[in-house]
């Protein structure tokens, strides 16, 4: 496997203000992620309304990020806000992932990566998730703001494409644009592109998008994602 032939996708995660979301949309990211974990400093909570997302282009996939939330609660939130996808950062089981897929949601299962990546632990999720997201293990379920050793992914051999997360920043742009890791589908950008928690630096993200897209031509959303 290699980087997706129609381009490395870009996801920005952790917004909650309508004006900031609208400004980000002008960059045409492939995915925008909204965090529904109350302990996160980027918790969307009541800040996010259906109106704040209603005018996003259909090409931008809207992702709800959850940590060990009941399936019923996830479905209620995704229905209310018209989200296309869910990203699960807790101990969600393959059965819970399948329950969300069964109603038409695209499912991303986040995997915390430390000094090693045990691919055998991922096998039960194959067929029940659309993507993995590899993030750096830390004190929080996600958003710890540090990178792990990307070389751990050089031997990735599972049929599930993945998002790369974990402290990605503009200083790494050249290294990221040269990545040719098997299975790599998208980059997940968050804490290193902020003016404050939950408020993204659009100018800085524009630089990152330009650099990455010069190496990976932009393409359409993968057929593996669900239509609205």
- Average confidence (pLDDT) per 10 residues, the chain, 228 residues: 60 96 96 96 92 94 97 97 97 98 98 94 98 85 75 96 95 87 95 95 96 70 38
Give the span between the Cα atoms of 48 and 59, in whole angstroms: 20
Give the span between the Cα atoms of 89 and 91, in whole angstroms: 7
- pLDDT at residue number 14: 96
- pLDDT at residue number 190: 95
State the pTM of this model: 0.90
Give the span between the Cα atoms of 165 and 161, in whole angstroms: 13
- pLDDT at residue number 20: 97
Spans of all domains in the chain: 9-215
9-215 maps to CATH 3.20.20.70: yes
- pLDDT at residue number 23: 97
């Amino acid at each position: 496997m290699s980087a997706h032939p129609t381009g490395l996708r870009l996801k920005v995660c952790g917004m909650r203000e309508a004006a900031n979301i609208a400004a980000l949309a002008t960059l045409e990211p492939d995915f925008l992620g909204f965090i529904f974990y109350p302990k996160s400093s980027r918790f969307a909570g009541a800040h996010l309304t259906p109106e704040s997302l209603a005018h996003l282009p259909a090409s931008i996939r809207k992702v709800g990020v959850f940590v060990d939330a009941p399936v019923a609660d996830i479905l209620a939130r995704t229905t209310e806000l018209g989200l296309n996808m869910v990203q699960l950062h807790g101990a969600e089981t393959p059965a819970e992932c399948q329950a969300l897929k069964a109603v038409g949601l695209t499912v991303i299962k986040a995997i915390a990566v430390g000094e090693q990546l045990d691919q055998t632990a991922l096998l039960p999720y194959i067929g029940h998730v659309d993507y993995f997201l590899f993030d750096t293990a830390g004190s929080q379920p996600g958003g710890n703001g540090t990178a792990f050793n990307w070389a751990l992914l050089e031997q990735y051999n599972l049929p599930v494409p993945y998002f790369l997360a974990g402290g990605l920043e503009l200083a790494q742009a050249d290294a990221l644009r040269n990545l040719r890791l098997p299975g790599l589908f998208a980059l997940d950008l968050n804490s290193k592109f902020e003016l404050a928690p939950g408020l993204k630096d659009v100018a800085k993200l524009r630089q990152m998008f330009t650099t990455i897209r010069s190496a990976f031509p932009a393409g359409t959303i993968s057929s593996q994602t669900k239509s609205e």
